[in-house]
Every structure is written in structure tokens, then in C-alpha cells.
Amino acid sequence: MSYCLNSESHLDTGPIYVRENGKLHMVNQGAGGVHNVTPKTRPFSLFSRSFSVELCMNREDDRARRQRTDHFIFTYTKEGNLRYSAKSLFSLVLGYISDNVDHIDSLIGFPEQIAEKLFSAAEARQKFTEPVTGLRALQKFTEAYGGLVLCSLCLRNRYLVISEKLEEIKSFRELTCLDLSCCKLGDEHELLEHLTKEALSSVKRLLLKDNSLSDAGLRRMTAPVRVLKKGLENLLVLDLSCNPKITDVGIGYLLSFKKLNCLDISGAGLKDVDAVIKRLQTQIGLVHSKVPLKEFDHSNCKTEGWAEQTVLQWEQAVMEAMKPQDNLRSRVATLHFYGKTHRIKEVVKCTLVEPETKASGNLQFYKENVQNCHLPLKKEVAGSHELKNNKKRALSEQERERTSKQKHLCLTVEDWDLLNTY
């Protein structure tokens, strides 16, 4: 066996191995001899030293990596150089708690200023749009802060949001304004039953226009107020227009709302309109308005509170789910092949003026002694009503005493069965 070593070379070629008689020997360059030593082979590497591999086994690893990068704020200087600075400890803790907001036990007694920032941080991460954890997290805020989370809720013509997020909507407390117009809920809807609960006893403005309500629905809605003095006892403005199934009998249930200042029953199925107008005026002091009232202008009702953006996120999620998918074209083609017509689902829109409203006319009522409740009227009309009210005050007091003694006789078997459910 022969080999050649270049001793003048300054390059470190490493150890040299030769195979002789089936055995591997290492050549010692300094001594020039051959040693029969079993070498320690160097590990074989496929990649260079600068190559790195990152394994993401699940989504939690990706989330942890994103949190590490969120610890810094990256900005650019005037010279165009990238500059980063560490975030404050408060913002880091706030981000961590908002990521795990569904694990909070309670927020009762927690400062409102910090709770609002925590809610905004969780809202930015869309934690309240998640199916199960979102509801649990939202309930922690509504239990502790009530009306600060949401004081006014407008769900006009958003029946899909109600069906998808019903439990989340029921978690709101201390609402003062609720707009459910044009949702076609009906008498048996779960949300209408929730209106009679103590959590929504603070509602002062309730808009139920075009909801397919009837006398049975009004009886259920007013039962706690008529008997237990609970429920919607603080109601000031009520809109029941465009509900043709409401008759003269249903209007009688509304007489339990003693604090009611404005009422709209345009488009109801009334048989004797003059008798209803006289009855509302003598028993609860509501006067028929000849001009439209500004209280029933739906532009005044808006969603207000911490959860304003949350409601918009719910609506966007519903609209995204309604977008047509790619495989719908093949389904339509199959239907045409078999001679079947494709069923088009149109979104139900609420018209501003219903045919029933035009037929019955404007049936909006207000109280004269309440300021800023109606549009300005003529002085002659206002003066004539004041004389009539002075004569009717004595009669109304006598009627109240007489009806208070007969309250226990006005309950039917259906009313008692309904009250037993509360």
C-alpha cells in the first residue's frame, strides 16, 4: 500500500484513512505511520450549519411564536432604519389575559377603566365571535358591568344574527333601548319571552315593528306587568306597527303600561279605531297624534356600548356564511338537468310603509304633559287637550280605584298557567 502526504500544505485536510486487508486504518500525518485504531466517524450532515428547521406541531406553537414577536413595537426612523422597542408590562399582561379571557372566573369589583381596555383587546382578537368560549367570556363582562357593555341594541332586519347569536344577545343586561323591527319573530320566539325577564326590566324603548305579533304575544309579554308588577314596567316608548294580527283585545293588554309615553299601533287589525283611541286616552292618557312622532324614527336607535364592534363582527360572520360556495353551480346544473327549478332564497326586507299602515292611517299616540316626546303641534290643539285632561283626571282616579279592587277577577286560567312559568 502506498500513499502520498503533502507536508507543505497548510490546509487542514483532517485524518486520512486507508483500508488494508479488510480493515480501516488511520494515517498519522505527523509521524508518518499507520495506526490500527478504530476511528470515531464524524456524524454525517445533510445541511450546512446556517440551516435551521422549525416544527409547528399544532396551532399553540404558532400562537406562542406570535406572542414572542408581539413583545416588541417596530417603527421606522426618519432615515428609514428599522427600530424596535419593548412593550410595557401592562400591555403584555393585557394581551395575555385577553387571549385567555374565557378562563376568567369573575370580573365583579374589577376597575371599569381596565375592564374596558380588556374588553377592547379581546374584541380585537375576535374572542367573542367564537361559538362556546365567546359566550362564556361575554357573560363575565355583562354580569359585572351590565349597561356599560351595551346600553342600546339595534337588530333591525337582522333576524339571521338573532338566530345565530341568540344566547349571546340574551346575556346583555340593563338595556335601555332595543330595536327588533322587521325580524318576523312571532309570538312563540324565545327572545320575546326573554323580554319579560328581570334582566331587561330597564328597557325604556322597545321597537317591535313587523314581527308577526298577535294578541297572544301581547298577553304573554304583559303578563308579568299586569300581575307581578315586573318585566317591562319602565317602558316609555313602544312600537307595534305593521302587526295586522293585533286586534282590539290585544290593545287592552297594553293598558298595564302606566308609564308609557309614546305608542305606535299603525297597521294593526283594529275593528273599532275610534273606540281604541278613546280608550287609550281615558285610561293611560295617550292622545292620538296627527303628525308622525320622532320617537318612531328608526334612525335614532343605534347600538351603543363596549360591544358595538362585537355586534358588527357577528353580522360580518353571518354575511360571510351566506356567501355562495363554489359547488353551488354544479348543484344548479344538476337541477336544470333533471328539469327542476332552482329555489331562490331572497332576503326579506322591511318596507318603510306597509299596505296595512296606509289603510288604517297613522295611529301614533303620545302624552301631552311629557316634554320632548312628540313633534311641535298647533297651540289651539294643545289648548283644547289641556281642558279635556282637567275634566278627565277625576274620572281616571276613580277608575283606578275601581280597577284595583277587581284585579284579582281579571285573570284567566291561561294567565295563571303563564305566570307559573316564571
Residue-level pLDDT at 300: 76
Residue-level pLDDT at 394: 47
Residue-level pLDDT at 324: 66
Residue-level pLDDT at 378: 36
Average pLDDT for runs of 10 along the chain of length 422: 45 70 70 53 60 53 54 74 80 91 93 95 94 93 95 94 94 94 93 90 94 94 88 93 95 93 94 94 93 86 93 92 65 61 48 49 85 44 45 49 46 60 60
pTM greater than 0.75: no
Long-range contact set of residues 373-382: C-beta below 8 Å, sequence gap at least 24 = 373/261, 373/262, 373/293, 373/295, 374/262, 374/289, 374/291, 374/293, 374/294, 374/295, 375/289, 375/291, 375/292, 375/293, 375/294, 377/289, 377/290, 377/291, 381/290
Residue-level pLDDT at 407: 44
- Could you give the C-alpha distances from 236 to 206, 257, 279, 282, 328, in angstroms and in order? 8, 8, 18, 18, 48
Residue-level pLDDT at 105: 93
